[in-house]
Structure 1
């Protein structure tokens, strides 16, 4: 299709420190004070991770959080949201830029990172991942009705095996490549300088699709219906190709 617009409708024990998740009681700390110990995280609660570097998110095998002892971990709590702040001691050259955080099943997680990437795999709830100057890489994560959001400024977004009810991905300088195991009701993927590619499963329902680029080509081979579709897809680039396919 010509360029332009398409519109239709196990880690070494010496390096890791395991921290058990203790039972949570009551409604939480309204002042959001720093907690000396880690929380229990259960369905209905949310984990927020903040870091000046990057992070790797993996599923918790036994209800415990696992962190590298070279990283400083500080917890705070407000209602159903637990915040984990990760930082390095001054002049500690051993401090990892991509420490691991294990996430209990069914707990949505948000991450704000900077100057490094975010890598997530095998998680089973909603994701809200944001970084600047780093890639976002996600595999086999999300949930059928979950909201999944990926945002970076200078880096690419690459995801496969995603499950979501709503899926959004954006960058400024980099590619966006999304492989979904479900057909989200609403899907948005954009970049300014890079390509956009979305792959949905075979048998996906019809979408109301808007696909645009200024300098590149568009190709849409998913089922489309501008009038009656209950699913929508918005894809865009300024300098790059835009593709939506199934299978």
Structure 2
């Protein structure tokens, strides 16, 4: 008759020992697994990882030495993910509800920074401010409205780069791209490439278009046009429909393409 209480004590001991382990493991999600929300910045070291950033303001995009995305702590960020695509929604909603003193001390910047591991492709959707990218070796898709897109020493020579705004200029220096698309409505499109993209499309309506490619760039099939301005083509040209191509257009402004 004394054996039964001993069994009860032993069972209770086992349950109490296992329970903390189950709790500690249950909050973890495997890196890259599918899901709707994530607690914080992920580690994006795997090949094929893609980061999508949305914001109602502008953005500074910079590289990081580590594996994890770093977000300006003065801004608020909500994370979600699906397979290899992680989405960061930047906002200042929580800061707007804080007291006046904390708003002054922790003011949410108009262009918060996000630092990204090397090789992670990035898509940015911003509004009412500029997007500035520097030193990021990755495929890029950057869009804003009412602001400039500025890119320096970024892109990859075997990956696409897309830079688009409306009511602002697109300016790039030391740009790498396999394929390059840049566009605005009211502003200039000025692109200085460190390499020779296989396909270049650059257009605006009210502004100039200028494209510079590497000194060893091949001959391009060039279509350069403007209605109110001049078009200057100073690169080797070709009629090969299968070779590298450029389409450069504006309405009110000049078009200029040359080798560095």
Work out whether the TM-score is over 0.5.
yes
Superposition TM-score, scaled by structure 2 size: 0.82
Instruction: Report deviation, 1:33.
Output: 1.6
* Correspondences of 1:1-247 after superposition (within 5 Å): 25=30, 28-29=33-34, 32-42=35-45, 43-89=47-93, 90=96, 92=103, 94-227=107-240, 230-247=243-260
Greater Cα offset, 191-200 or 89-98? 89-98
**8 Å contact from structure 1 (residues 173, 194) kept in 2:** yes
Instruction: Indicate the structure with greater helix content.
Output: 2
Q: State whether residues 47 and 108 of structure 1, in contact with CA within 8 Å, keep that contact through their aligned partners in structure 2.
A: yes
| Contact 2:42–2:69, Cα closer than 8 Å, also in 1 | no
In 1: Cα distance, 2:152 partner to 2:29 partner: 30
Task: Tell me if structure 2 keeps the 8 A contact 1:46–1:82.
Answer: yes
**1:182 CA displacement:** 0.8
Unaligned runs of 5+ in 2: 1-27, 98-102
Task: Mark the runs of 5 or more structure 1 residues left unpaired by the alignment.
Answer: 1-22
| Structure 2 Cα separation of the partners of residues 131 and 116 of structure 1 | 7
Q: Give structure 1 regions of 4+ aligned residues with deviation exceeding 6 angstroms.
A: none
TM-score (structure 1 length as normaliser): 0.86
| Distance (Å, rounded) in 2 between the aligned partners of 1:96 and 1:211 | 40
After TM superposition, give the deviation of residue 66 of structure 1 in Å. Answer: 2.5
State how many pairs are aligned. Answer: 223
- Kept in 2, the 8 Å contact 1:52–1:113? The answer is yes
| Structure with more contact order per residue of length (Cα contacts < 8 Å, sep ≥ 6) | 1
**Whole-angstrom distance in 2 between the partners of 1:104 and 1:215:** 44
Cα distance in 2 between the residues matched to 1:88 and 1:48: 18
Query: Does the 8 Å contact 1:182/1:200 carry over to 2?
Result: yes
Post-superposition shift, 1:203? 1.8
Supply the RMSD in Å over aligned alpha carbons: 1.6
1:8 aligned partner? none
Q: 1:203 & 1:111 partners in 2: Cα distance? A: 31
Contact 1:207–1:229 (CA under 8 A) maintained in structure 2: no
Distance in 1 (CA, whole Å) between partners of 2:194 and 2:250 is 23
Contact residue 206 and residue 229 of structure 1 kept, 8 A: no
